[in-house]
Amino acid sequence: MSQWKQIQQLDIKFLEQVDYFYDDNFPMELRQVLANWIESQDWYVVVFLHTDQKLYFQCLLNHILNFWLQENTKQPVKYKANPLHMAAVICNCLREERRILSTASMQEQVLPRHVTNSMQKPHIPHEILSKIADVIKEIDTLISSQLNPELKEWKRRQQIACIGGPVLIGLDQLQNWFTLTAQSLFQIKRQLDKLGELILKVTYESDPIPLQRPQMEEQVKYLIYHLIKSSFVVEKEPCMPTHPQKPLIIKTQVQFTTKVRYEPQLPPNSSCKQGPLSVTEELHSLNFEAMLMLQGLDIDLETCSLPLVVISNVSQLPGGWASVMWYNLLTDDPKNLGFFSNPLRASWSQLSEVLSWQFSSFAGRGLNKEQLNMLGNKLLGQHASYNDCQVSWSKFWKENIPGKSFSFWLWLDSILDLIKKHLLPVWIDGYIMGFVSKEMERALLKEKEPGTFLLRFSESHLGGITFTWVEQDENGDPKFISVEPYTKNRLNALPIADIIRDYKVIADGVVPENPLKFLYPDIPKDEAFGKHYNSQQNKVCPYIQTQLVPISHRK
């Protein structure tokens, strides 16, 4: 007999209970029409299906709702925008039906017989305990096979988002899943509590309730305890307001913000590893603790932030961010505070993706394949393919580039800073080739029209940009001229677009025309940079107008 037919045969007092919760949750008429189909679905698992299955199921529910609304125009449409929420509601309704059926069955089969004939052994439905045990087992499997892996995956995505990866989403959905699971467990706990009250009133020899209930109750408490403990997470990692794109770096004497999902005002406890490491390699952790008292259960909540770096001076910020990137790229163990005592190597395919993220998150435009190949060449030397190459932490951050007084990451971080503060609009437009070797630069320009130029970042200066153009010598052969790199101090006085517009070269006391004609490959310079020119001229009457003009002297 279907569950719905059993419901229809209940006494009036139980039918009133059914009417009560259907009145507020779901149309009873729709439950009646689709009784067999509704009971044949595994509603609890619906919200955990894969994306393609979710879309199929959502379409199916939409068809059902549309049909129902056509026939019953007065029915509310609150589920139309979110059919998957309707699945959760139906799931709860079916459980409530089972609870009522269980209660009615116990009262009809146990209490009346005990009252009328105390010598007669009352009959308890063994199948009730079996069903409860099956549900507990299903929830246990669901937590281990679905919820816990989803939570672990979200935490990994959080690490990636911290170092410039894709924006983190999904926590609200994850919270809904945890909430639905917790509600189900608490409903089972209440049913077991009712069975405990029942055996205080009546029991008999070989009664299965006192034999099986304690173990089931312990299992439910265990699942609740660990489910809620695992759902206590750091929603927003520690971050200084002055550097929102570089979380997990904290400067002494500077306030920072963080957020956990349960208690936003918890006293943080800091713990760190002692050892012969630099300041930026010492990892710390913020621990959050709370006590949750819920339906007779005392649950100790504890979680910790991702490992963070504490600095005392802003000059340590590049090193701190290098450590944060390296750690979160290569491990997902939040308690591995000794990571830099023996740091792992990164493959170039891993590292290149993170480097591109830095430019997309800080400067609005990531790096293309050619730009990444140039960086791979600079860091690893010439290779046919860089994907299988391994990069050590020391080579990335500690060792100086051969012939230079700075490391690879310090050089790259200075370029990011230059772009963000002085080159952002031109970089976003894609007009800065940026990372190109001198050899490749000449190969690109030698066949081009005289006056063709490109912009690249200096390899000899920290935070410098230069441009190179092609001319023809007296024999008609190409020659290449590069200007001294512009750094942030010079770009503070004159924007890069205005430099390109007004640039002049003095030779033998004669000021020729601007040698810059076409941005590589063949874009007229005014077409490329015109919208970024500064049209505001400094006029202080009655003085004549003055203008800053970038000039180079050619011997």
Residue, of 98 and 538, whose pLDDT is higher: 98
- Indicate the CATH number for domain 350-554: 3.30.505.10
Please, which residues bridge with residue 285 across strands? Answer: 271
CA dihedral 359, 361, 365, 367 (to 10 degrees): 40
Residues 6+ apart with CB under 8 A from 540: none
347's tokens: 């493959």
Look at residue 291 and give its three-state secondary structure.
strand
Domain(s) labelled CATH 2.60.40.630 in the chain stretch across 234-338
44's tokens: 């609890």
Measured distance CA(326)–CA(343) in Å, rounded:
9
200 with 193: CB under 8 angstroms? no
- pLDDT of 117 reads 40
Whether the predicted pLDDT of 543 surpasses 50: no
Q: How far apart are the first and last CA of the chain?
A: 101
Please, which residues bridge with residue 519 across strands? Answer: 453, 523
List Cα–Cα distances, 208 to 205, 213, 215, 222, 499, in angstroms: 9, 8, 12, 21, 88
DSSP secondary structure letters along 51-97: HHHHHHHHHHHHHHHHHHHHH-TTS--TTTT-HHHHHHHHHHHHHHH
pLDDT of 304-332, one tens digit each?
899 999 988 888 999 999 999 999 999 98
On the 0-12 / 13-18 / 19+ scale of CB atoms within 10 A, 475 is exposed
Using a pLDDT cut of 90, give the percent of the chain over it: 27
Domain(s) labelled CATH 1.20.1050.20 in the chain stretch across 3-230
Mean pLDDT along residues 242-262: 79
Please, which residues bridge with residue 300 across strands? Answer: 291
Mean pLDDT of the chain: 81
Residues 6+ apart with CB under 8 A from 354: 163, 164, 165, 325, 329
Helix intervals (H) in 74-203: 83-109, 111-116, 126-142, 148-162, 171-201
295 with 189: CB under 8 angstroms? yes
Whether the predicted pLDDT of 537 surpasses 80: no
Whether the predicted pLDDT of 118 surpasses 80: no
pLDDT of 63-90, one tens digit each?
666 666 665 544 445 555 566 677 777 8
109 with 102: CB under 8 angstroms? no
Look at residue 446 and give its three-state secondary structure.
coil
- pLDDT of 509 reads 64
What is the CB neighbour count within 10 angstroms for residue 250? 21
Q: Considering the domain 3-230, what is its CATH architecture?
A: Up-down Bundle (1.20)
List Cα–Cα distances, 218 to 114, 136, 391, 499, in angstroms: 29, 11, 50, 75
- pLDDT of 319 reads 92
Whether the predicted pLDDT of 213 surpasses 50: yes
Mean pLDDT along residues 9-35: 77
Using a pLDDT cut of 70, give the percent of the chain over it: 81
185's tokens: 């467990």
- pLDDT of 526 reads 92
Look at residue 488 and give its three-state secondary structure.
helix
Mean pLDDT along residues 21-48: 74
Q: For the domain with range 234-338, which CATH number is right: 1.10.3720.10, 3.40.50.300, 3.40.50.920, 2.60.40.630?
A: 2.60.40.630
314, HSE (Cβ side, Cα atoms, 13 Å)? 4
Measured distance CA(549)–CA(493) in Å, rounded:
11
Residue, of 54 and 525, whose pLDDT is higher: 525
Domain(s) labelled CATH 3.30.505.10 in the chain stretch across 350-554
